[in-house]
A and B are shown apart, each in its own frame.
Chain A
Amino acid sequence: MNEETTGWQEFKKGLILENPLMVLMVGLCAVLAISTRVENGIFMGLSATFVLVFSNIIIASIRKWIPDQIRIPIFIVVIASFVTIVDLSLKAYFPPVYERLGVWIPLIVVNCIILARAEGYAYRNPVWHSFMDGLGMGAGYTVVLLVMSIIRELLGTGQIVLFDKTIISLGPFNPPAIFILFPGAFLTFACLVALLNRYKMRKKK
């Protein structure tokens, strides 16, 4: 279907034009919940990208053998397997992060971004394009997640702590805790969407 597009174009569309979070607005719940710390953002973004890329590759490479009637169960099995791999590896090698992300890692299974890319893209496109598509969508997801968690951690706690080291500190001021609470998630997200829409409107003119 998209044979004429290059892999780079497939990658790029996930960043801005079809950004899963800012434009398609799917898979938001995990983002709103865990973007309280930059460290969470990094690991959640990488985990989701890993699952996206590999489930896309597998589904694209076996798509000719998947009967139409049972494609959804097969997608779920593939996605759930990769999520479990991420889950076990995080628990084994990064237990503190695993504790904090908690239920959100297993919940990647039902993240609409991943199932949507499997059903809407990887099932109909060749492996290379699906790989780039997964990578682009994952990158778009991770970038937004990082921007949100940087804003929220910095404003909500007054500093950014990465792997037990303080990277940035705003110095002595009383940070408004609302930014790391739920209202802060919605406020930050709404501001980001507004900025992106303004950028797009400017570009149209």
Chain B
Amino acid sequence: MIERMVKLGVTLMVVGVVAALGLGLTYTVTRKKIEQYDLQVEAQACLSALPGVKSASEIKEDKQLSAKVRKKYPDVQKVFTCGKGYIFVVKTKGYGGPLTLAVGIDPGGKVRGIATVTSKETVGLGSKALEAAYLGGFKGKTAADKLKVGEDVQAVTGATITSKAVTGQVKQALEAFSLIEQ
């Protein structure tokens, strides 16, 4: 009886190990390309987060600032700078998985725009909190705003969790901005 169970387990394990090897190999081969593509998507989102910036060459990641901000606000992945302000790439948990947004803030500390980098939110429900109509509502917000769902921010019906995630991310970006400008 035990012998048979061991035999089944070992068979399953061998299959699993071989499959994992194959997948690891594919992953190694495709990783570079996928990373490149992800960076491109991120740059695209940053461009639309800060109106007035026309090409990706104008914005640059400030690695020192990124590291400094990340120490206090671990959800902030990257800080991009350009003459027209900062772009914060913030990643937190949404409803369907990781949710990454790019938040553009002008030198005066006002939110100028928000763009989705990656999202796994449910199409038709959570995704409604990522549409321009909702994200546009954050324009002009500053670090002085409370930014709390239910108080000065409305949640989208059926997308409460996503709305909260978005609001929290904008708040973090603004706080990170204050940290930089101190």
Q: Classify the secondary structure of B's interface with A.
A: helix
Interface size class of B (residues with CB under 8 A): 10 to 19
Given contacts A91-B34, A91-B37, A92-B34, contact A85 B26 (CB under 8 A): yes
| B98 lies within 8 A of chain A by Cβ | no
Q: Closest CB of chain A to B160's CB: distance in Å?
A: 23
A81 to B17, CA, bound (A): 11
A95 to B44, CA, bound (A): 14
Kindly report which residue of chain B lies nearest to residue A74, judged by CB atoms: B15
| A78 lies within 8 A of chain B by Cβ | yes
Given contacts A67-B8, A84-B23, A84-B26, contact A92 B15 (CB under 8 A): no
Q: Closest CB of chain A to B94's CB: distance in Å?
A: 16
| Between-chain CB contacts (< 8 Å), 24 pairs | A62-B15, A65-B11, A67-B11, A69-B8, A70-B12, A73-B12, A74-B12, A77-B15, A77-B19, A78-B15, A81-B19, A81-B22, A81-B23, A84-B23, A84-B26, A85-B22, A85-B23, A88-B27, A89-B26, A89-B30, A91-B30, A92-B30, A92-B37, A93-B30
| B71 lies within 8 A of chain A by Cβ | no
A88 to B33, CA, bound (A): 10
Q: Are A95 and B22 in contact (CB under 8 A)?
A: no
Q: Classify the secondary structure of A's interface with B.
A: helix
Given contacts A70-B11, A84-B23, A91-B37, contact A77 B30 (CB under 8 A): no
Q: Are A88 and B11 in contact (CB under 8 A)?
A: no
Q: 8 Å CB contacts to A: which residues of B29-80?
A: 29-30, 33-34, 37
Binding site for A on B (CB under 8 A): 7-8, 11-12, 15-16, 19, 22-23, 26-27, 29-30, 33-34, 37
A93 to B33, CA, bound (A): 7
* Additional 15 contacts, C-beta under 8 A, given A77-B16, A81-B22, A89-B26: A62-B15, A65-B11, A67-B11, A70-B11, A74-B11, A74-B15, A77-B12, A77-B19, A78-B15, A80-B19, A81-B19, A81-B23, A88-B26, A88-B30, A92-B34
| A66 lies within 8 A of chain B by Cβ | yes
Residues of A within 8 A of B34 (CB): 88, 91-92
Residues of A within 8 A of B16 (CB): 77
Kindly report which residue of chain A lies nearest to residue B41, judged by CB atoms: A95
Q: Are B11 and A95 in contact (CB under 8 A)?
A: no
Q: Closest CB of chain A to B9's CB: distance in Å?
A: 9
Kindly report which residue of chain B lies nearest to residue A66, judged by CB atoms: B11
CB contact between B37 and one of A65, A77, A81, A95 (< 8 Å): that residue: A95
- Give per-residue flags for A77-116: 1 if the beta carbon is below 8 A from chain B beta carbons, else 0: 1101100110011011101000000000000000000000
Q: Closest CB of chain B to A161's CB: distance in Å?
A: 22
Residues of A within 8 A of B19 (CB): 77-78, 80-81
The 5 lowest CB-CB distance pairs between A and B, nearest first, are A92-B33, A92-B30, A81-B19, A88-B30, A85-B26
Kindly report which residue of chain A lies nearest to residue B7, judged by CB atoms: A67
Q: Closest CB of chain A to B115's CB: distance in Å?
A: 16
Residues of B within 8 A of A78 (CB): 15, 19
Q: Closest CB of chain A to B8's CB: distance in Å?
A: 5
A70 to B13, CA, bound (A): 11
